[in-house]
Structure 1
Amino acid sequence: MNRTFTDEVKYQWNNGGMHIKLMGINLVVFILINVLLVLGSLSVSSGNPNPMEGIVFDIFTLRGDVKGFLTHPWGIFTSIFAHFDFMHIAFNMLFFYFISRFFLMYFSNKRMLYTYILGGIAGGLFQILAYAVFPKLQGMQTFVVGASGAVNAVFMAAAFYRPMAEVHLFGLVKVKMIYIALFYILIDLFNMGGSGNVAHFAHLGGAAFGFLSIYKIGSKNNVVNFTQTTIENLKTSLSSKPKMKAKKGGKSFSNTSAKKQTDEEYNLNKKKKQEEIDAILDKISKSGYDSLTKREKQVLFDQSR
């Protein structure tokens, strides 16, 4: 039976992985922004300012100056899902699609979400810091928009985690991931003093976070591990229900749950699991995917979910 467009969208959302969800959010926000701008332009006569421009900018852009950021703090989050220009979102999402598939070979969907969001926020903060420190930037545009910093974080995390892994560039030339990563970093370093409208410091901030996200990856102090554990512990504490007690024969019984892992136990298990994944990936690189046992294939599949 052929699926309708709506069915296909639902299927991809439910089964496509975190990168599909993030790309979908970016696309929906892009459409929303442009619909609002078109409606705004149609609501006024020619030559008058678009009333929706100010609203869209207030909601979806990050103010590069400290004062603007303090009055519009939500922009550091909303801006990493927003694009105004078609070529901007097309490049970011195409690059994100290809690099996310490489990322998910080694990391989980949940880790991708944390890396994307935290990397985007880090890129925004780095751009704000640059505006405050360098006088030349203060005379340029004071807003930042786009997923470039977040995408850069995901890319750099994968590249620095497996620097010697090779990819086919344009389907023709084999290039090691680390060389592509360094090339992107150098482009931003050489152009960060330019007069264009590209937020090079946001790119560099995202890249720096990508490296930090895999530094001491088996430790509870790893920035992504720490953030994820903190948020999940907070969610657990907020959603936990009071213990119910029942009396029987004059004695009280409490429905206590299973013993919860300590941070040390959690991170030890996580490290062991990562070591197992690394061993499986090494086996693939030496003998190919078909050499894996049924259990090893299942472990790799579970990790990529």
Structure 2
Amino acid sequence: MNNSLWAELKLKLFKSGNPVLLYIGVNALIFVVFSLISVVFFFAKMPDAVAGFINDYLAFPSSPALWPTRFYTLLTYQFFHQGVFHILFNLLWLYWMGQIFLDFVKPRQFHFVYLGGGILGGIFFALIYNLVPVYQPLVSESTVIGSSAAVMAVFAAAVTLVPNYSIRLMFIGDVKIKYLLLVYVILDMIAMQSANAGGSLAHLGGALFGFLYIKFLQKGTDLSSIFKKKPKLKVVKNNNVKQQTNTVNQKRSI
């Protein structure tokens, strides 16, 4: 029965062709694996070992001195989370907004927005930390992790595409998603003065990416087209062409 459950989950999350479920599955799997590893280190009296490794080698740093050796963290940081509630809320919003967005775009476009939003979110966080004086004393020790920027990119892209789309919230009723995004953006702007200012800046950078992608798309430019597979050209030998020509001529003479 356990094998059957795992096979069903694997088929649903990783082989369905649905990018929303794929990213939910990847994020959840990474979180579970590293959480279980952290339990082992906890019993070995090293409770912070896993969190320290993630922060040092997988989170995206704001310090430019670390970028040459930590360039890959622009991608890896998007798949790690600090706790259960961090990943839970990210994946819930990814499911809700991702399904809406996917109703109007191709999987290739979804991948581009998700990953591109995460990348721009990290870059936006690092640039603000390095350029704005109030954050500069924190540059050497600040990192960011989580899929929030990628999720916000999907959220903003969906809102830009269908701003009047409504969802039903418990105790509130039907709410247009453009108002939900507005609330989140305002909260992130307020949180720029909090301890999690880096995360809020990454959210805003991700939202900006999702917004710009749809604006370009509406003007006829699909930025995700760089991922399109180019058709392969077939080389036809001359002797084959001659043989086909002869066959046609024979049929005509008959």
TM-score, length of structure 1 as denominator length? 0.70
Residue in structure 1 matching 2:227, options 222, 231, 247: 231
Which amino acid in 2 is paired with 1:89?
Answer: I
Residue in structure 1 matching 2:129, options 128, 131, 138: 131
Query: 1:153 maps to which residue?
Result: 153
Residue in structure 2 matching 1:247, options 216, 239, 244: 239
Contact 1:245–1:252 (Cα < 8 Å) also in 2: no
Query: 1:69 maps to which residue?
Result: 67
Which amino acid in 1 is paired with 2:110?
Answer: M
CA distance in 2, matches of 1:218, 1:165: 17
CA distance in 1, matches of 2:2, 2:27: 27
Contact 1:33–1:56 (Cα < 8 Å) also in 2: no
Which amino acid in 1 is paired with 2:58?
Answer: F
Query: 1:99 maps to which residue?
Result: 97
Matched residue of 1:135: which SS? coil
Query: 1:144 maps to which residue?
Result: 144
CA distance in 1, matches of 2:214, 2:184: 18
Residue in structure 2 matching 1:114, options 91, 112, 137: 112
Pair 1:213-2:205 in alignment: no
Which amino acid in 2 is paired with 1:174?
Answer: D
Distance 1:92 1:50, change over 3 A: closer
Higher mean C-alpha displacement, 175-184 vs 147-156: 175-184
Higher relative contact order (CA 8 A, sep 6+): 2
Distance 1:220 1:164, change over 3 A: closer
Contact 2:114–2:150 (Cα < 8 Å) also in 1: yes
Shift of 1:241: 7.5
Matched residue of 1:167: which SS? strand
Query: 1:90 maps to which residue?
Result: 88
Which amino acid in 2 is paired with 1:122?
Answer: L
TM-score, length of structure 2 as denominator length? 0.83
Query: Residue deviations 1:97-121, cap 9 Å, x none?
Result: 1111211222222221111000000
Contact 1:63–1:69 (Cα < 8 Å) also in 2: yes
Shift of 1:232: 2.5
Shift of 1:65: 1.9
Shift of 1:215: 0.2
Query: 2:248 maps to which residue?
Result: none
Query: 1:188 maps to which residue?
Result: 188
Alignment RMSD (CA, Å):
2.8
CA distance in 2, matches of 1:54, 1:166: 41
Identity over aligned pairs, percent: 28
Contact 2:38–2:47 (Cα < 8 Å) also in 1: no
CA distance in 2, matches of 1:171, 1:115: 31
Matched residue of 2:174: which SS? strand
Unpaired runs of 5+ residues, structure 1, are: 254-305
Distance 1:207 1:244, change over 3 A: same
Which amino acid in 2 is paired with 1:55?
Answer: F
Unpaired runs of 5+ residues, structure 2, are: 245-254
Q: How many residues align?
A: 241
Contact 2:121–2:149 (Cα < 8 Å) also in 1: yes
Contact 1:156–1:210 (Cα < 8 Å) also in 2: yes
Contact 1:144–1:199 (Cα < 8 Å) also in 2: yes
